[in-house]
Amino acid sequence: MPPEPLIEAAGVAAGYGGPPVISGVGFSLLPGQRLALLGPNGGGKTTLLRAVLGELRPTAGTLGVQSTCGTVPQTERTRLDYPVSALDVAAMGALSRLPWWRRPGRREREAAGRALDRVGLRALAGETFGRLSGGQRQRVLIARALVQDAGVLLLDEPFSGLDRPSAEGLEALIAELAGEGRAVAIATHDLEQARRCDLVLCINRRQVACGHPAEVLGDLAVLEATYGGAIVEIPGGGGRAILPPHHHHH
Amino acid sequence: MLEPLQEPFMQRALAEVVLVGAAGGALGCWVVFYGLSYAAESLAHSIFPGLVLAAIAGVPLLLGAAPAIVVAALAIALCSRVAGIGREAAVAVVVTTMFGLGVLLALSPQSPPGVESLLFGDVFGATDADLATAAGLAVLVVVALRLLHGQILIAGFDRGTARSLGVSPAFADAALLLLLAAGIVVAVQGLGNLLVVAVFVGPAAVARRLSDRMLPMMLLAAGLAILAGVAGLYLSYYAGTAGGASVALAIVAVYLLSLPAGRVRSSRRPAVARAEVTIA
């Protein structure tokens, strides 16, 4: 019997009350699969992730999610001046399972320690979150999702701002976590990393394409429809790249 | 050192600053992290008409302060919904209106003498009933902070993900504002309308420089607030200065004394290396 998909979307439209921000989105993600979510800024990647999370109800189509979703935000969205340790942040993942008046106790902190161990950060459990490197912070936020016992991981541009060794280490970790039977959706601007996923979904207000990386990313028309004119051919056969979206934090 | 403690008014004043310090210091840490310093100041000013009305009617100040703070909070919520008015401007409009109303009432012939103590505090004038009310509210604030700690911590850490962790940021905001209102009502008796914000912002700002975990920070802030409160009372007792202002100045002094210590810590902090990745 083939495994049941953890996420199954068909004809999904979603938005914030006005005209839909995304429409016509359909894909299914099996346990163990990694989905790269490509699209320009403002193209609806975050809207789709919020719909999967259940924060937005689809205005059309059907969207079934069969597991707890753990969100891994960009670490810039978190408070880096906050007085919390890596372990404190990982333990936040336990809160959704506890009654509202309870703080994470010993059991939850042990689970947080195991999750930090899993992402290779046991030794830094007591370090202040804001003092970790970008890649380490991303791992702590993944550990938080593991404490949530999430079968679906939603990562929002996890590689942005990372140097190459950190990005490669993080990519290997994500592959391992998927290998354990989780479904992983990764919003990214990095075509090379998208190429190594199991599925690629291109979205620019509507779904442009969804399929295996080789066929989706090999089609210049798809990339143009996804990114508009912001694609450049790298001279000397280096492949194609997307002109990076303007960065605010320079 | 112990001589002032023989005086009953001094004993009550000490009890008052301990209650105010414990609730205000701990709550102040969240005020600092949630960027609520301006809200704290505004809420404090906007209860002035309630305090004056309570003084005119001769009822406990709490009975005036509580409804006034609710009116102010609702008015701010309503005004910030008016298109083109930001939240900050809405707060300014409501606060100046409420405070002006308070001044009008205070200058009316019905107003009893001594209304200035509502502005500057009367830490030595606390009655047993005032103390009992302050104790009740302080316990409420501390217990609520303990129960809601996880929720407030997560909502402040990253709002965008809080919901997926089972936490409502709007609930955390509302709970904090309500607790802040309760804390202000506790502290206003001793520190007065104009100085009350000191106890919420000063000790927490110091503790933030000296501690990098939330619970130690809250305990430290409470301890510093109590210490500054007691020091202010002694200053007032021996130098004959105004009670509330002495406490507020002692808080500022603690902050100034902590500045060198904070510099030492921040220079130890390793710079986090940042590399922009270029897309292959």
* pLDDT for the residue numbered B207: 94
* pLDDT for the residue numbered A1: 67
Interface test mutation site (partner B, options A67, A92, A97, A152, max chain B beta carbons within 10 A) = A92
Q: What is the mean pLDDT of residues A175-197?
A: 92
C-beta atoms of A84 and B214 within 8 A: yes
Distance from CA of A1 to the nearest CA of B (A): 32
ipTM: 0.84
* pLDDT for the residue numbered A177: 94
More confident residue, A111 or A236: A111
C-beta atoms of B212 and A159 within 8 A: no
C-beta atoms of A53 and B164 within 8 A: yes
**What is the gyration radius of the CA atoms in chain B, in angstroms?**
20
C-beta atoms of A95 and B149 within 8 A: no
* pLDDT for the residue numbered B278: 32
Nearest beta carbon to residue B156 from set A79, A89, A167: A79
Q: Which residues of B touch A84 (CB under 8 A)?
A: 153, 157, 213-214
* pLDDT for the residue numbered A144: 95
Tokens (6 digits) for A30: 């099996």
* pLDDT for the residue numbered B193: 81
Model confidence at B257: pLDDT above 70: yes
Q: Which residues of A touch B211 (CB under 8 A)?
A: 83
How many residues appear in chain A? 250
C-beta atoms of B160 and A77 within 8 A: yes
B189 touches chain A (CB under 8 A): no
Percent of all residues in chain A with a pLDDT value above 90, rounded to a whole number: 63
* pLDDT for the residue numbered A202: 95
C-beta atoms of B277 and A167 within 8 A: yes
Q: How confident is the model at residue B83 (pLDDT cuts 50, 70, 90)?
A: low
Note whether B233 and B14 are within 8 A (CB). yes
Nearest CA in chain B to A242: B279
Q: Which residues of B touch A187 (CB under 8 A)?
A: none
B42 touches chain A (CB under 8 A): no
C-beta atoms of B164 and A162 within 8 A: no
Nearest CA in chain A to B213: A83
Residue-wise DSSP of chain A: -PPPPSEEEEEEEE-SSSS-SEEEEEEEE-TT-EEEEE--TTSSHHHHHHHHHTSS--SEEEEEE-S-EEEE--GGGS-TT---BHHHHHHGGGGGGS-TTPPP-HHHHHHHHHHHHHTT-GGGTTSBGGGS-HHHHHHHHHHHHHHTT-SEEEEESTTTT--HHHHHHHHHHHHHHHHTT-EEEEE-S-HHHHHTSSEEEEEESEEEEEE-HHHHHT-HHHHHHHHTT-EEEETTTTEEEEPPPPPS--
Residue pLDDT, tens place only, B135-184: 998 999 999 999 999 999 999 998 888 988 989 888 898 889 889 988 88
Note whether B153 and A100 are within 8 A (CB). no
C-beta atoms of A102 and B150 within 8 A: yes
* pLDDT for the residue numbered B276: 32
* pLDDT for the residue numbered B177: 86
Q: What is the mean pLDDT of residues A108-115?
A: 94
* pLDDT for the residue numbered A209: 92
Tokens (6 digits) for A79: 């408070």
Q: Taking the model in full, what pTM does it have?
A: 0.84
Model confidence at B263: pLDDT above 60: no
Beta strands in chain B (DSSP E): none
Q: Which residues of B touch A101 (CB under 8 A)?
A: 147-148
Mean pLDDT of chain A: 88
More confident residue, A234 or A183: A183
* pLDDT for the residue numbered A8: 95
Q: Which residues of B touch A192 (CB under 8 A)?
A: 279-280
C-beta atoms of B157 and A103 within 8 A: no
C-beta atoms of A55 and B33 within 8 A: no
Q: What is the mean pLDDT of residues A175-182?
A: 94
C-beta atoms of B147 and A101 within 8 A: yes
B217 touches chain A (CB under 8 A): yes
Q: Which residues of B touch A95 (CB under 8 A)?
A: 150-151, 154, 165-167
Model confidence at B1: pLDDT above 90: no
Note whether A183 and A215 are within 8 A (CB). no
Residue pLDDT, tens place only, A199-227: 999 999 999 999 999 999 888 888 888 88
Model confidence at A27: pLDDT above 90: yes
C-beta atoms of A101 and B276 within 8 A: no
Distance from CA of A75 to the nearest CA of B (A): 9
Tokens 């309630």 appear where? Answer: B50
Nearest beta carbon to residue A95 from set B154, B160, B213: B154
Q: Which residues of A touch B272 (CB under 8 A)?
A: 131-134
Strand partners, A9: A27, A63
C-beta atoms of B279 and A242 within 8 A: yes
Q: What is the mean pLDDT of residues B232-238?
A: 92
